[in-house]
Structure formats: C-alpha cells, structure tokens
Amino acid sequence: MILPFSIVNPLTRIEVLRQLPQPGKVLVRENDLIESFQLVGEYTPPPQFAIINASRELAIPPKKIARYLDVAVGDTVEEGAVLASRGGVGGRSCRAPFSGTVTGSGRGRLLLEAPSRPVQLSALLPGTVARVLPGEGAIIQAFGAFIQGVWGNGKEVFGVLRVAARNARQSLRAKKLDASLQGAIIVGGAGLDEEALAQAVEVQVGGIIVGGVSPQLMPRLLTVPFPVVVIDGIGKVSMSEVVFKLLRSLEGREAALSGQMPDLRRPAWSRLGNVERPYLAVPMPAQSAASIDRNAPLTLGSRVRALRQPYMGMSGVVVEIPRGLALLETGARRPCVKVQFESETVLVPHANLELLL
C-alpha cells in the first residue's frame, strides 16, 4: 500500500532546486562548493512602463493640462507621488503607480518608466552544485536533517534554529520573543496568534516554524517580511512530537527555511529533489547519507502521522496490518492499520494516514 508522505528525517541527502523566476544567467558550475549567501543566478526583467492619462483623471481637456502638471519630463518620482493635481471644490490628483522617471508627455498623458534592476537568486542552502539547469538555475545538494511542511508564506531565510516553546502542544507566545532572537528561526509548538506575530515582526526574527495556524491569520502571514512554515495542518494543531523532538535536537544549528509553495506551472525537471513543499533543511558535516525512497510501501514498523481528527498531527509506528477491511466505530469498513501512538494503540484507516520518511 502506497500512502502520501512527508519527509521528517534527521540525516538524508537533500536536493534543493534554486530556480530563477524567468530565464537568465546561471553563475555556478557543477561540483562547485557554495555557501548559502552565494549567488546561483540572476536575470534582468524588462523595464516597466505606464501611461497615466492625467487629462482624464483630472477631467481637464488635454490642451489645458500643462498648467496642472506637478512634474516635467526627466523628473524622478517615488511611488504615490502626485503627478498632476487640480484644487478647488472637488479637487483631484493623479499619482505615480510606481517609482520611476517621467520620460514623456503629450495629449494629456504622462509616460512613466521604471529602470530594470537585476533579480538575484542565492543558494540558500550551503552544499555542492549537483546539477546546472542552463538559463534556469541549479540543484544544490547537501547532507543533513530535512523536514517538510504543509504551508508556507513564500519567504525564505538562512539562520540559526531556536526553540521558543516548552513542548509540541504549546503555542508561540509574545513574551518568549525578545531581542536575543533577532535573525533566528523560531520553533513554536501548536501555533501563534496576532500578538506573537506582531512581537516577532518587532524583534525582527528570521523565520517561524509552527504546527498549525488559524485560517484567519493566514492573510496577515503573507505580509510579514520573514518566512512562516506550518508543519502539520491549518487550524489549531499541535506540532507532531517526532518533529518537535527533532527540531529541539537541532537547536543552535544553522538552517535553511523556505516557505515556497509548489508551482505546478514549472516544467517536469523542476520537481526533482525533495523540496516541492515548504521545508526546513539543516546541513550537517556528513559526507554521505541515504536518499529518501518516495515509493516506500506501508509495512510493519513504518512511521506514520495521522491526518484527521481525533488523532490529527499525532505520529506513531505501525504495529499490525490487518487483512481485508476493518469495521470502524462509524459502521464503515475500510482498510486499516494498528498504530502505536505515545499513549495508546488504535486502528486507523489508510486514508487518514501519511508516511513519515
């Protein structure tokens, strides 16, 4: 039986895809040793242009608009700057949609241009360049601990791992976050609230890892300047004990935290490696480690995690695989396994489990 899986492994071969958002120039070669801050590639997007119809926005005929302009051709403006205005009753103004230079004017319109700025991509994870993808990026290989999450806010960082919760069931609290955690990747337990998030922004933490977050907080998480990665699920979910214990054992080590979500528009080669989901990667000095078998079957001794209540987020070991269909308390018959959680052994349907590899 093949189940969905999450990787929670203290020592494995890690492959991280670093891909430019648009075709560009790759700056590394295969077998290069690379640090987290080193550039893998860069590209220069085309200049941004905008035509602002000042005449229409101010309701002024094009022939008379010149006296209402607050800028001239050649002026540099910031985003939101007033380009033209009309006072009096019902006064109006038009503003710059982005920072740039006014490069043209005529027929009641202004042409605004933003200069091109190179977009650079760092390695994030120190390791070896295992493969170069011409014009696109590279795959970085390292050995160490690797943990996959279920949701992230799209940001990424490399920093020192710090645990700020006593156990996997405790939420991250604002009072636990002080200036000593600036730039650190913070491990919480069950989740965090608005107060803790505001304190994290104030302290300028490097990133946050929690078991779960409320759906109501997710839009706010998308606006913070650091990565937030959810390990177990959306809602009030404690972090899996197996994950929390591993994170605690890694405290003080440098780690790469990525909140990037899967992009199904990428070509097939982009799904190489083991980072199609948000992740934490902790590089180790090991020179080799076993690869993850993504097609591993469910067997006696397999580590699993429950995906649904009442055991959601709990992890355990498969101790029995009954033949045929088992009768559940609901009256339904489903293929099941017996799982030894920390305090009890229970029968769980296959559909409610995932493998921990």
Number of domains in the chain: 3
Residue type, 108: G
Query: Low-confidence residues of the chain, pLDDT below 70?
Result: 1, 88-90, 263-275
Do 192 and 341 belong to one domain? no
Strands 207-213 and 185-187: parallel
Q: How far apart are CA 353 and CA 3, in angstroms?
A: 7
Any domain includes 274: yes
Q: How far apart are CA 197 and CA 270, in angstroms?
A: 32
pLDDT for the residue numbered 268: 41
Any domain includes 35: no
Do 231 and 320 belong to one domain? no
Is the whole-model pTM more than 0.85? no
Q: How far apart are CA 39 and CA 349, in angstroms?
A: 46
- The runs of H, that is alpha helices, within the chain are 54-58, 194-203, 218-221, 241-249
| Peptide bond before residue 310 is cis, with ω within 30 degrees of 0 | yes
pLDDT for the residue numbered 264: 53
Do 73 and 192 belong to one domain? no
Q: How far apart are CA 200 and CA 217, in angstroms?
A: 14
Q: How far apart are CA 348 and CA 311, in angstroms?
A: 9
Bridge partners for 82 per DSSP = 95
Do 334 and 214 belong to one domain? no
pLDDT for the residue numbered 289: 77
pLDDT for the residue numbered 89: 61
Any domain includes 22: no
Per-residue pLDDT tens over the stretch 57-74: 888 898 888 888 999 999
Q: In whole numbers, what is the pLDDT of the chain averaged over residues?
A: 89
Q: Write 41-46 long-range contacts (CB < 8 A, 24+).
A: 41/120, 41/121, 41/136, 41/137, 41/138, 42/118, 42/119, 42/120, 42/121, 43/118, 43/119, 44/116, 44/117, 44/118, 44/119, 45/116, 45/117, 45/119, 46/116
Residues of the domain holding 9: 5-16+142-283
Per-residue pLDDT tens over the stretch 257-308: 999 987 655 544 333 334 478 999 999 987 777 788 888 888 899 999 888 8
